[in-house]
Amino acid sequence: MSALSQRSYDEIRNTLLARHELALLDVREEAPHAERHPLFAANLPLSKLELEVHTRLPRLNVPIVVFDDGEGLAESAARRLLSLGYTEVAVLKGGLSGWENAGGEVFRDVNVPSKAFGELVESVRHTPSLSAEAVDALIRSDADVVVLDARRFDEYQTMNIPGSFSVPGAELVLRARALAPDPATRVVVNCAGRTRSIIGTQSLVNAGIPNPVSALRNGTIGWTLAGKTLQHGSTRRFEAQAGQADAATRQTARALADRAGVSRTSLAEAQRWADGVTRTVYRFDVRTPEEYEQAHAPGFQNAPGGQLVQETDMYAPVRGARVVLFDDDGVRANMTASWLAQMNIETYVVDHATPDALTQRGVWQPSRPQPAQTPAIAAAELAAQLAGPDSHTIVLDFTASANYVKGHIPGAWWALRSRLEQDLRALPDAKRYVATCASSALARFAAPEIAALTGKPVQVLEGGTAAWVAAGLPSEQGETRLAAPRIDRYRRPYEGTDNAHQAMNDYLEWEYGLVAQLERDGTHGFFVI
């Protein structure tokens, strides 16, 4: 087997500074990734690489560098990428420790480029904010105030400031005037922590909304630390017809994009770029998921603008790539583009698209490689097999651990594909295996590996665990039979109400220090208009 190419810290740093394309991929699971990684390292776990790789790395000859922290995953990931047709694949010399030993800065948490940029924006623009105590006093006194939650709607439903409305980030400039038509009404923007509050508030300030605008300082974390009560299950959100863009709002958004250095393009030109082989091109429709599903342009992935700014490393992991944005109102794409450009991303907005160009419907359909063929088993047949007195069948579930805990096939084991060899050794003896996940999309890739490691018959549950549930078969809940530790997802200190206050405070202290870390790292190229 031929040796894999290696790239050093200095080579990668120089590539980033030159704004040449590079995908620096941390192939560990999300939890260890969140402990420490380089600034522009995108998390693409080996365990689910095939499900995401063609969407996140659309150009087969893009330069790729993969790394781990000595777990032995990077080499496997590199060879898998080569087998999928990627041609410029290397491993990071010395892994993560090599990066640190060479003087490379490491960051913790997830979506770090966006969070660090948000802190930089606040430090430069002195984005106005109010404490939880001040906002609570306004609400309790029936002051003329409206609270707008800039997170995704599902996050808002989990927990929200009492009386607030869900207005995800890119919608703020488009919808705020309809929700606060009186210029005297105070507008407060919140998220769970800091970034989307800062960017949302500064968006409204940049757009010249006449109302007094403030961020809720430290979001729902700050609210919780102040001892205030959150609501759960709320459904208040902006109405689709509210805040249709007028000429002045479109002009303001366009002017901001121009100031940030955003360029213009057409759907046809963006398609020609995407068909080329010399540059990576990401095409994003920044409207709401509902609008996208009704009609969208071919090749455009839905990435609501606020989340795109929040998760640039997930949506566009190739640093130095082109990003093309689309909307149908002239506001959301330009506002989103103005932020991406300030994050040193080459950004374009589609101009002059007509409704007849939106020829596709439904959700984004990612391109994926074809797994090897594995025999399938129907849910009813599996249930009968498991009920047998001597079935010796082990069901391996590769879904996200959080989904597994919520509900899984009775007797199933949760496993991580990236740890499959060691996890299998810890399981009881079996005559046969059945692989599943929510839909069996990932299970189909895991099944041949189970067969190769065990030499036993392996089947894939047809339709996955969703088909089992749809058939009315019983499920069980809880952390039963975990063959692997739950490292597939990092528990964010800001995503729930049951986190320890110390963890929340530690998270805020970390965010406050990001501007200094950016300066030490020196590769970002961020600027603030």
Q: With 60 as the cut, is the pLDDT of residue 275 above it? A: yes
pLDDT tier for residue 496 given thresholds of 50, 70 and 90: low
Long-range contacts of 80-85 (CB under 8 A, 24+ apart): 80/46, 80/49, 80/50, 81/49, 81/53, 84/50, 84/53, 84/369, 85/60
Q: Residue 263: pLDDT above 70?
A: yes
Q: Determine the residue type at 106.
A: V
CATH 2.40.160.60 is right for the domain spanning 5-109? no
495 has a pLDDT exceeding 70: no
The domain 253-357 is placed in CATH, from the list 3.30.2130.30, 3.30.565.10, 3.40.250.10, 3.40.50.2000, at 3.40.250.10
What is the H or E stretch that residue 453 is in? helix 443-454
What dihedral do alpha carbons 221, 223, 225, 231 form, nearest 10°? -90
* Total Cβ atoms within 10 A of residue 24: 25
Instruction: Quick: pLDDT tens for 128-143.
Output: 999 999 999 999 999 9
CB atoms within 10 A of CB 324: 27
Evaluate whether 117-237 and 253-357 have a shared fold.
yes
Of 256, 238, 254, 257, the closest CA to residue 246 belongs to 254
Whether the predicted pLDDT of 449 surpasses 70: yes
Fold for 117-237, please state it: Oxidized Rhodanese; domain 1 (3.40.250)
What letter represents residue 65's amino acid?
A: V
Q: What would the pLDDT profile of 280-320 be if each residue is shown by its tens digit? A: 999 999 999 999 999 999 999 999 999 999 999 999 999 99
What's the pLDDT at 2?
75
Task: Give the C-alpha separation, 400 to 388, whole Å.
Answer: 28
Q: What is the pLDDT of residue 143?
A: 97
Determine the pLDDT at residue 246: 87
Helix (H) or strand (E) holding 371: none
Domain spanning 376-470: CATH superfamily: Rhodanese-like domain (3.40.250.10)
Task: Give residue 224's pLDDT.
Answer: 93
**pLDDT for res 505:** 86
Map out the domains of the chain as residue ranges.
5-109, 117-237, 253-357, 376-470
